[in-house]
């Protein structure tokens, strides 16, 4: 057993789980071209998500664990790159901590109805990432 396994962070002790990547999102200038590329390269199944507020595709990597899957969308701005979503107990608290550490908020708290909330941030190296708070009551 490694030292990492034995030692739990404050957030793990408080919530029983550590912050971890639970979703990824791939932006594309041409979604059909990107679907073909990732489908042929990795064998991923990429299907349009019905009922989404904006055009969105679910990327099924073949894993039984939904946290190993992701999404695909049309690129929203020129610098839009792959975004990893990291699960946290509170997106607001984690975003405030990120700002205190020198990060920036790029997109304020946004609801994904009946799933949860996210906030998009940039780290001190200008890399984008998203904070994710699961909440079945999100509206």
Residue 126 pLDDT > 90, yes or no? Answer: yes
Instruction: Tell me if 84 sits within 8 A of 22, measured CB to CB.
Output: no
Q: What average pLDDT score do residues 60-87 get?
A: 93
Q: Which of 111, 113, 97, 134 is nearest to 121 (CA)?
A: 97
The per-residue pLDDT for 3 is: 37
Structure tokens at 20: 């971890």
Q: Which of 53, 26, 54, 20 is nearest to 42 (CA)?
A: 26
In the chain, ranges of CATH 3.10.180.10 domains = 17-81, 88-139
Question: Which candidate, 88, 133, 95, places its Cα nearest to that of 115?
Answer: 133
Tell whether domain 17-81 is in CATH 3.10.180.10.
yes
What pTM value is reported for the model?
0.84
Going by pLDDT thresholds of 50, 70 and 90, the confidence category of residue 9 is very low
Confidence of residue 16 (pLDDT cuts 50, 70, 90): low
Alpha-carbon distance of 124 to 118, in angstroms, equals 19
- The CATH code of domain 88-139 reads 3.10.180.10
**pLDDT-above-70 percentage for the chain:** 88
């Amino acid at each position: 057993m490694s030292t990492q396994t034995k030692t739990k962070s404050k957030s793990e002790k408080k919530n029983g789980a550590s912050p971890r990547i639970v979703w990824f999102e791939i932006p594309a200038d041409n979604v059909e071209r990107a679907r073909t590329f990732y489908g042929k390269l990795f064998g991923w199944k990429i299907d349009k998500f019905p009922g989404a507020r904006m055009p969105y595709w679910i990327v099924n990597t073949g894993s039984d664990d939904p946290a190993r899957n992701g999404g695909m969308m049309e690129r929203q701005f020129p610098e839009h790159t792959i975004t990893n979503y990291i699960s946290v107990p509170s997106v607001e608290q984690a975003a405030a901590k990120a700002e205190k550490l020198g990060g920036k908020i790029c997109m304020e708290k946004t609801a994904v109805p009946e799933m949860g909330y996210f906030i998009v941030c940039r780290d001190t190296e200008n890399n984008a990432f998203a904070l994710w708070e699961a909440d079945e009551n999100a509206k």
